[in-house]
């Protein structure tokens, strides 16, 4: 099964190789970047599920121990729990011998909802659930253990056959499809996905709150059998993180970032067409907030690829 566009797959592999060639990375910079990404991941992952803390407020809660006036206690607890889960994840991937298992998924879930759902933290649900706004109805609670066992068999069978990004995207979908817990399924799935990615050397991949509608849309498409759109979506999140690392650590990745409107000037493509190329993973582009950025070099590489394919 091949879900990733070959050009995007090649680009991800080349960028990962560049990042690996730079190792060992400066420990002080790594620690600072890890702190930044932990806050961003916690904010975005929780905000997707309705947490009201802003990015700045999440930083204050996690780094300064502050209580934000007017914000629910539950939102503060969710932020602290998620950071604990991320700390566990980082400790985990620093070890050589570990595998994704039901036990590990339940550990991640236990940490994610430790202070907000103490009764069911780390425990599979015992009743039916409905996912608001989705057509998919998760399996009955009695089927959850069997479905999770099947998911682990699928993972073991495909972990070498699929590209790591494809494997992580599909694990994410299959986990939320089963919806094994009463609450915290999305946060747990995004963490489990990152266990697979980081085990292969990829940086922490963050799904942005600004992309929430698209995220739900590609998940629903995957529910109906179209897994390519979700895989592309996850691949772009992965590439965004690799680009961040390369721009910090590599002296050769300093091309000036341009908005697509700026990049279209002097280019054979309109900003609208560049946007299409960026969204479909065909152009090396970087999304910040709601805005796509690229470089002159990336457009030149895309032009070169097109010319080579014509020959």
Catalytic residues: 179
Q: What is the DSSP string of 116-156?
A: T-TTTTTS--SS----TT-S--PPPGGGHHHHHHHHHHHHH
Tell me if the bond preceding 283 is cis, omega within 30° of 0: no
Burial 128-166 (b: 16+ CB within 10 A, else e): ebebeeeeeebeebeebeebbeebeeebeeeeeebbbbb
Do the Cβ atoms of 168 and 3 come closer than 8 Å?
A: no
Residue that has been written with the tokens 């299959």 in this structure = 174
Radius of gyration of the chain (CA): 20
The pair of three-digit structure tokens given for residue 29, joined into one six-digit string: 């910079």
């Amino acid at each position: 099964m091949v879900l990733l566009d070959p050009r995007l797959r090649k680009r991800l592999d080349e960028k990962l190789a560049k990042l690996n060639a730079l190792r060992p990375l400066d420990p002080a910079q790594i620690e600072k970047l890890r702190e930044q990404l932990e806050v961003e991941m916690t904010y975005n992952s929780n905000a997707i599920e309705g947490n009201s803390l802003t990015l700045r407020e999440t930083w204050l809660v996690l780094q300064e121990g502050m209580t934000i006036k007017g914000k629910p206690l539950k939102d503060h607890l969710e932020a602290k729990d998620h950071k604990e889960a991320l700390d566990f994840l980082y400790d985990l991937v620093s070890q050589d011998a570990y595998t994704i298992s039901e036990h590990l998924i339940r550990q991640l879930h236990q940490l994610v909802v430790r202070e907000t759902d103490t009764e069911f933290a780390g425990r599979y649900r015992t009743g039916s659930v409905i996912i608001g706004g989705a057509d998919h109805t998760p399996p009955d609670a009695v089927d959850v253990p069997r479905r999770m066992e099947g998911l682990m068999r699928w993972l073991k069978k495909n972990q070498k056959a699929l590209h790591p990004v494809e494997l992580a995207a599909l694990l994410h979908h299959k986990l939320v499809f089963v919806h094994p817990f009463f609450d915290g399924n999305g946060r747990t799935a995004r963490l489990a996905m990152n266990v697979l990615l980081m085990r292969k050397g990829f940086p922490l991949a963050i799904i942005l709150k600004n992309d929430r509608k698209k995220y739900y849309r590609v998940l629903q498409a995957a529910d109906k059998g179209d897994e390519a759109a979700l895989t592309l979506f996850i691949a772009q999140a992965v590439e965004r993180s690799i680009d961040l690392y390369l721009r910090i650590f590599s002296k050769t990745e300093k091309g000036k970032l341009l908005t697509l409107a700026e990049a279209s000037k002097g280019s054979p493509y309109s900003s609208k067409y560049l946007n299409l190329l960026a969204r479909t993973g065909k152009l090396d582009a970087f999304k910040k907030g709601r805005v796509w950025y690229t470089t002159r070099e990336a457009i030149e590489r895309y032009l070169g690829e097109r010319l080579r394919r014509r020959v």
